[in-house]
């Protein structure tokens, strides 16, 4: 900051001029020096605030630029849209990060194969089991299978239930053979 020139005291000291609210030259000089110090402080504070304002404006401009870049990118590559917020955050926190590299990193870290989805109960409940078209297809396929003359096997953990009535013996010899077979099986 430029130094202000001190008034020449010799010219003022000998005169009988009125110094306003100051009683003499020394009190006027002291007040002037205090005023100059305050002015310097205010100027420094103003410069600091201007610097902070510039930094804030630069950061806002950077954020807007990153948001525009990410929006353009996800418009071009729709697969990246679910990661747009994470992509913006990553680019804002790391100024050296590259948009495409970050997008590839985020997508590859979150990529799931079909096998992963097939074993993900939350995905199945939200997107498969709740889909009426899929339910209808499963029922149609099942009904188609059971109507194709293939026997239906009905079993329980305790025993097997036959679907046709048991053949009853008509003679004593048949009853004897049936009894022997039952005894042999146990």
Q: What is the pLDDT of residues 114-137, one digit of tens each?
A: 888 888 899 888 888 889 998 889
What pLDDT score does 144 carry? 83
What pLDDT score does 183 carry? 87
Which portions of the chain are predicted below pLDDT 70? 1-17, 149-162, 186
What pLDDT score does 51 carry? 94
What pLDDT score does 12 carry? 47
What pLDDT score does 40 carry? 95
Between CA 140 and CA 133 the distance in angstroms is 11
What pLDDT score does 41 carry? 95
Between CA 54 and CA 49 the distance in angstroms is 8
What pLDDT score does 153 carry? 57
């Amino acid at each position: 900051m430029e130094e202000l020139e001190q008034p020449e005291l010799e010219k003022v000291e000998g005169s009988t001029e009125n110094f306003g609210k100051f009683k003499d030259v020394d009190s006027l000089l002291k007040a002037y020096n205090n005023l100059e110090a305050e002015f310097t402080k205010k100027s420094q504070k103003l410069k600091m605030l201007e610097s902070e304002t510039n930094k804030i404006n630069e950061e806002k401009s950077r954020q807007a630029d990153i948001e525009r870049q990410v929006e353009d990118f996800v418009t071009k590559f729709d697969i990246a849209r679910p990661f747009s917020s994470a992509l913006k955050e990553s680019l804002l926190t790391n100024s050296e990060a590259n948009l495409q590299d970050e997008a590839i990193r985020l997508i590859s870290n979150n990529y799931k194969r079909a096998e992963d989805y097939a074993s993900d109960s939350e995905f199945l409940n939200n997107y498969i089991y709740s889909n009426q078209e899929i339910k209808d297809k499963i029922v149609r396929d099942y009904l188609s299978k059971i109507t194709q003359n293939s026997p239906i096997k009905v079993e329980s953990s305790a025993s097997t239930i036959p679907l046709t009535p048991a053949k009853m013996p008509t003679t004593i010899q048949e009853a004897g053979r049936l009894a022997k077979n039952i005894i042999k099986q146990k």
